[in-house]
Structure 1
């Protein structure tokens, strides 16, 4: 009987092709990340130049054209980087899966191990992957995280200035009784304003600016951004964009990030629904400057609003933050029970140089160093892993975590372990020292 030879590639050959493809994807992703970084720096310089123009003057049209061109370039590079990152993640997940066991000659292959066939009781629905935002969306707007510190706006002057713009001031409430030990009730939602009230408010902002009271006009815009509900903020932004002072609508949208996460996310959705793309982009840019302790609440608000793509984009953007900030962000996410987001953040940060990765591993606490080192062991080539191991040689606990990740799959990391031995680095965890105490003599 003639035995038919199969022409399909073996599992080892397929793994080799996948590893080579992963190396090529990492190289292309590194180049695109550098290009995107340069485009983002140019965009920030042009944005600062536009904002430096006095409020009574309009920016140079050529400057605005260059800013729009830089923003389009950065958004296109960002969309491509995100696409390659998802491809690389899927490829690395496939490489981490154990190879299927080959049957002995004459042994039938179990039906579950045959790809392309459905098995009763098993679902063929693929697992949901990470959401990718629309590359045409203008809100992917990186910038320095500390460009706008998030601080609560004062509420006391609002009754004397904000309400006087469109309605009689409400008399102050009588002093309340001492706060009981029970938790206070949730705050009431902001009062909705009528179209006439919002129109009067926009006219007052414009009149103050025309009279030269630019500080009072800007202060009124900042207070409205915090105290108005999202629909009213969006309507006021539209009025200011059509007839208000230059840049007032953008400042109003950016100021909404100083409110609660629910208010900021609701305003972002309303701005997009109203077609105010520039204002929505500024607000999304401001969300990137949220402090670390507010990130879990922001991501939860985005999830409740159905804006999962925005949360994924923010995690991807935060992955390029400085090392100390990434450590603080990951700790905040891990401490709030969002370990999956912390792992995603560390995976996005795993593309930086080896020295930064070693510093990041040292800065992390709890289970996060092991999470980062496992991601690096699965994603980095042997040469970079050897350099990382050399940088962590003076940290026994971190070096042990890296070795644990490598020795968990010896067949896959055989080349890395051999390179460690060649470099004179240990390939087994160091045993704790045992001190021998001598007999004391009186």
Structure 2
């Protein structure tokens, strides 16, 4: 990469570049964590939407890496230029493969760590505040960090400058960097400002940029997603609200309780119920994981509601789900099947549970709760399929 010449009178300084590099490091760490979660989801099934999201986050990660290298080159060049203005001789040092083994001046000082509560600013994001850094997965903190402060509202001028930046990058052929800036804004701006930026991009930005920004919000925290969805609805941005809502279908299973709670707090409980209905069609192992995470988070009623939505699926898929579920949830699913399905369907479902004596006993117990005529019909169907009536 060719480093641009540094004008001695340029306003850009070392501290501004360091701040931007701090932003990029945080964004890259977030992208890497999101990529890891999506890769885990892809490995457990063949969901095209998860594959699409994985490709999207990898593209974002690549764009952030490219931008990080560009800024690193610029920072080194600027520091070298500033050092050349002094009369103090400095030793030489090798700088690595990106300079082809050439030698440069003494090592640049490392960026000073930003204060935890202070918003980071930079020209690239037109003053957008970055979120508090997440703890590294391999080194969890024994005490939960304080909740980050809500992003400060941005002025109309700041948002207009950010929209212009996104548009300018796209027009000059830097589509990947334009997408990276857009995706970063989706997770660090306040929900109301995300909605305002979406409106600006919809009116004057690159084609598809508004929808891309809306979908990218689903990569952020639950409160950010729910708050932005509410703001989009209030602003009448129905297409972008629908794009964000559909993107929420692929939310990581471990974070669904937080998402449902955030939707309730935003006055969008009906959207939470719709998501439960959609998630009821997830592959069996994933469906079981969703229900288990909801129960573990204290949202047992949501877990039962999810299983109720799933009870109309193919009986072999239901049996597979019951095998993966925790015992109490497997029992709840069997009660739903016994209550809602025909005796023939019940027999097909039971055939898939024979491999698990505990699950099969729970099924027989559920059959015993039916009225007398339905119990006889269910037991006759089991007997006709050659299945045991006791274990």
TM range (shorter): 0.5 to 0.7
Match of 1:147 among 52, 62, 74: 52
Q: What CA distance in whole angstroms lies between the structure 1 residues aligned with 2:191 and 2:262?
A: 14
Match of 1:164 among 110, 123, 126: 123
Q: Does 1:237 align with 2:142?
A: no
Report if the CA contact (8 A) 1:145-1:290 is conserved: no
Q: Which residue of 1 aligns with 2:338?
A: 377
Higher helix share: 2
Report if the CA contact (8 A) 1:256-1:263 is conserved: yes
Q: Which ranges in structure 1 are unaligned for 5 or more consecutive residues?
A: 1-141, 171-179, 431-442
The change in CA–CA distance for 1:261 and 1:379 in structure 2 (over 3 A counts) is: same
| SS across alignment from 2:250 | coil
| Cα-to-partner distance string for 1:351-407 (whole Å, 9 max, x where unaligned) | 111111111111112311101101100011111112222332332211111110111
Give TM-score, length-normalised by structure 2.
Answer: 0.65
Q: Which residue of 2 aligns with 1:326?
A: 287
Q: What CA distance in whole angstroms lies between the structure 2 residues aligned with 1:181 and 1:424?
A: 54
Match of 1:394 among 355, 365, 374: 355
Give TM-score, length-normalised by structure 1.
Answer: 0.58
Match of 1:300 among 252, 261, 266: 261
Match of 2:387 among 422, 425, 434: 425
Q: What CA distance in whole angstroms lies between the structure 1 residues aligned with 2:128 and 2:257?
A: 37
Q: Which residue of 2 aligns with 1:351?
A: 312
Q: Does 1:270 align with 2:231?
A: yes
| SS across alignment from 1:288 | helix
Q: Which residue of 2 aligns with 1:283?
A: 244
Tell me the CA shift for residue 143 of structure 1.
7.5
Report if the CA contact (8 A) 2:126-2:162 is conserved: no
| Cα-to-partner distance string for 1:254-286 (whole Å, 9 max, x where unaligned) | 111111100111111111111111111111111
| Cα-to-partner distance string for 1:169-208 (whole Å, 9 max, x where unaligned) | 99xxxxxxxxx97654321111211101111111111111
Tell me the CA shift for residue 322 of structure 1.
1.0
Q: Which residue of 1 aligns with 2:378?
A: 416
Report if the CA contact (8 A) 1:166-1:197 is conserved: no
Superposition RMSD in Å? 2.9
Q: What CA distance in whole angstroms lies between the structure 1 residues aligned with 2:182 and 2:218?
A: 13
Q: What CA distance in whole angstroms lies between the structure 2 residues aligned with 1:169 and 1:398?
A: 53
The change in CA–CA distance for 1:415 and 1:223 in structure 2 (over 3 A counts) is: same
Q: What CA distance in whole angstroms lies between the structure 1 residues aligned with 2:356 and 2:144?
A: 46
The change in CA–CA distance for 1:167 and 1:376 in structure 2 (over 3 A counts) is: closer
Q: What CA distance in whole angstroms lies between the structure 2 residues aligned with 1:404 and 1:266?
A: 44
Equivalences for 1:38-437 in 2 at 5 Å? 144-149=49-54, 163-165=122-124, 183-411=144-372, 412-427=374-389, 429-430=390-391
Q: What CA distance in whole angstroms lies between the structure 2 residues aligned with 1:348 and 1:420?
A: 24
Q: What CA distance in whole angstroms lies between the structure 1 residues aligned with 2:304 and 2:375?
A: 22
Structure with greater contact order relative to length (CA < 8 Å, sep ≥ 6): 1
Tell me the CA shift for residue 146 of structure 1.
4.9
Tell me the CA shift for residue 409 of structure 1.
2.9
Q: What CA distance in whole angstroms lies between the structure 2 residues aligned with 1:383 and 1:413?
A: 13
Length, aligned pairs only: 279
Larger radius of gyration: 1
Tell me the CA shift for residue 221 of structure 1.
0.6
